[in-house]
Structure 1
Amino acid sequence: MPKRFSLLIDITNEDIMKKKIKPIHPGEILFDEFMVPLNLSQNKLGRDLDVSPRRINEIVLGKRNLTADTALRLAHYFKMSPQFWLGLQMEYDLALEEDHLANTLEKKVKIFKEQKAA
């Protein structure tokens, strides 16, 4: 397993919140851990996945989310699970939203308290 990716596994959302570590977009992982080691260009990957190279470019640059459609294509191409790719996107999205909503959650969103039966 590449060094950077193995480090990613050990980083939790809590770490991201505490240390303000910038979340890693799935496109960065696609590029650094798959495309570079396998010498895949954005153009070739796009053609092989039957999507536009622009879609791959926007994902790699972090300008576009990785959709279920793309996750299924990448999973088939790399003989992996689509959940891997969607999990990366979900973790990225959650990290961004947790940072964005942190104050709102603490100040305005109540915590459920079970009521005693009458």
Structure 2
Amino acid sequence: MKYFTSKELQCSHCGASGMDKEFMRKIEALREKLDFPFPVNSAYRCPEHPIEARKDTLGTHSTGHALDIGVMGDRAYRLLEAALEAGFTGVGINQLGSSGRFIHLDDVESKVGRPRPWIWSY
């Protein structure tokens, strides 16, 4: 990978790697197009990761098909626009407060309880 290290994509709970190669190819293409850094807030999460463990059903991060990118302002707008054009199916937006802002991107298919395409806010 050109823009991301293995370490920043690992599960922050256990260090496991599990990002889907095709998903990361799409993320890399998006990063190339936008030409600004994508600080990774969260990538792969193992099923035992505290965030996943408290859910009734595992989330998209546990499939290796999701990434939370630390971004705000004009870059958030540009990322959102380009992600929708690129066909990402799940977009979560957290732009409140002075820190911790991010955009979640995933490319999973629709299923019962998880319709796609879908946009939500945190």
Give the structure with the higher percent strand.
2
TM-score (normalizing by structure 2): 0.24
Give the structure with the higher percent helix.
1
TM-score (normalizing by structure 1): 0.24
Question: Using CA pairs below 8 Å that are at least 6 residues apart, which structure has the higher relative contact order?
Answer: 1
Larger radius of gyration: 1
